[in-house]
A and B are shown apart, each in its own frame.
Chain A
Amino acid sequence: MEFKDYYQIMGVKRDVTQDEIKRAYRKLARKYHPDVSKEPEAEVRFKEVGEAYEVLKDPEKRAAYDQLGADWKGGQDFRPPPGWDQGFEFHGGGYTGADAAGFSDFFESLFGQGFAPGAQARGGFHARGEDTHARVMIDLEDAYHGATRTLTLKHTELGADGRPQLRERTLNVRIPTGVRQHQHIRLARQGGAGIGKGEPGDLYLEVEFRPHPFYHVEGRDVFLDLPVAPWEAALGATVQAPTPTGSVDLKIPAGSSGGRKLRLKGRGIPGKPPGDLYVVLQIALPTAESEAARAAWRELEKTLKFNPRARLGV
């Protein structure tokens, strides 16, 4: 297994005080906390830092770790020397209050076996399983029609030898109609397994919309930028507009300017009440590549005497 340099992970020197270790931990925890952080790999980094802190914050474990020597480098192949922890007395087992599910084999080999009381070894101990969280990506259309999604989730489970192991499982989940960005679907009893006769925990799925090439979503409302020709905007027209439930005929009022919002009531994400679909007009200009096109633009210029900058006083 790989040696873990806990001092390097925490970004501190080997001779820092306990107070400095705590300060370094708090700073890194704020930076990588999965609820707060936008950093890539935040969760992995947070677990790594949590594991390092679990050892270094405890003067007993830190002293035991230190006597492995300063010559080890992170990532080196490592076997704990036999009897490496002789003469150290650990209080309260290797694990304290930390969430140890993601700790490395390295930690396990040093502080895991023998130190952890091992919940399942205690007769008659029952606890409800942990609630777990995952994210499910859906398309906007799925929120209109409902859908089913097959998810593969990785989770850690205590193996027969009492050590955490990585397992994979596949779930088939119904995505209810009308679900919105960042809402949570609760699947009862699909979370972590209980201990003893304890009930399993719940699984919470956070809904995330895949970015759509032309719609964007705000709450229940859906927005579409619709290109229109200058004459359609000026004279009014009936044009086709796509919607997530199929294309519709849309009446553009005469004298529309770019950015005008037309509301299609109730055509947003379904619900009680349903959201609206907003069509935002974008005036698209035809190119002036051919001589005929250029002539037409010149004709327009002559006829209209139009100053688009009149309001700016120039």
Chain B
Amino acid sequence: MTDELLTLLSGEVLEEDVELTLAELCRTCRLPAEQVIELVQEGVVEPLGRDPAHWRFQGISVQRVHCALRLERDLGVNVAGAALALDLLEELEALHARLKRFGA
């Protein structure tokens, strides 16, 4: 392996450095705007800003959208079900982290 020859790749941290408009989120996730708007209405992602033209999505929205689409495709849940699953998964993750801290 010639590691020295590999270029050093720098990325951006989704949760910190990235904020997306509706158009950018559509492009990144390859979805039509109608579908992203449906995801917003069901609470899969929560943008800042009053109306779609001014929406700003946190970078982590990309992950939530991808995950919701996979759950829809693979488990046959609808958008509201995917939103519920995402929230529960987040809660579960937080609980697991606390459990680990107490050595369980």
Cα separation A160 to B85 with both chains bound (whole Å): 40
Chain A residues near B3 (CB-CB < 8 A): 150, 170, 172
By the criterion CB–CB under 8 Å, are B74 and A128 in contact? no
Question: Quick check: A33 and B11 within 8 Å, CB to CB?
Answer: no
- List residues of A (198-240) whose CB comes within 8 Å of B's CBs: 202, 204-205, 211, 216, 218, 223
CA A36 – CA B68 in complex, angstroms?
Answer: 11
Q: A184–B3 Cα gap in the complex (Å)?
A: 23
Main secondary structure of the interface of B (DSSP, over half): helix
Taking the closest CB of chain B, its distance from the CB of A286, in whole angstroms, is 24
- What is the chain B residue whose CB lies nearest that of A183? B15
**Which candidate, B32-40, B49-57, B59-67, is the interface stretch facing chain A?**
B59-67
A140 within 8 A of B: no
Would A185 and B12 count as touching, CB distance under 8 A?
yes
Q: How far is the CB of A119 from the nearest CB of chain B, in Å?
A: 16
Contacts A184-B60, A216-B101, A218-B97 given; does A148 touch B8 at CB 8 Å? yes
From B9, B16, B76, contact of A183 by CB (8 A): B16
The reply to whether the CB of A186 lies closer than 8 angstroms to some CB of chain B is: yes
- A33 contacts B13, CB within 8 Å? no
Interface size for B (C-beta < 8 A) is 34
Q: How far is the CA of A46 from the CA of B3 in the complex (A)?
A: 34
Min Cβ gap B79→A in Å is 15
Size band of the interface chain A makes with B:
35 or more
CB pair A33–B71 under 8 Å, yes or no, is: yes
Of the listed stretches A58-66, A75-83, A174-182, A252-260, name the one at the interface; the rest are far from the partner chain. Answer: A174-182
Interface string of A76-112 (1 = CB under 8 A from B): 0000000000000000000001000000000000000
Q: Which of A139-186 contact B (CB under 8 A)?
A: 148, 150, 170-174, 176, 178-186
Cβ-defined contact, B13 with A183, below 8 A: yes
The interface bits of chain B over 3-22 (1 if a CB of A lies within 8 angstroms of the residue's CB, else 0) are 10011111111111010000
Q: Is A26 an interface residue (CB 8 A)?
A: yes
A186 touches B8 (CB 8 A): no
> Which A residue sits closest to B30, measured CB to CB?
A128
Residues of B within 8 A of A (CB): 1, 3, 6-16, 18, 28, 30, 59-60, 62-63, 66-67, 70-71, 73-76, 85, 89, 93, 97, 100-101
User: Could you tell me which A residues sit within 8 Å of B by CB distance?
Assistant: 26, 29-30, 33, 35-36, 46, 50, 97, 128, 131, 148, 150, 170-174, 176, 178-188, 190, 202, 204-205, 211, 216, 218, 223, 271
17 A-B residue pairs with Cβ-Cβ distance under 8 Å, sorted by A, are A33-B74, A36-B89, A97-B73, A172-B7, A176-B10, A178-B16, A181-B97, A183-B14, A183-B15, A184-B59, A186-B11, A202-B28, A204-B14, A204-B62, A205-B11, A216-B100, A223-B101
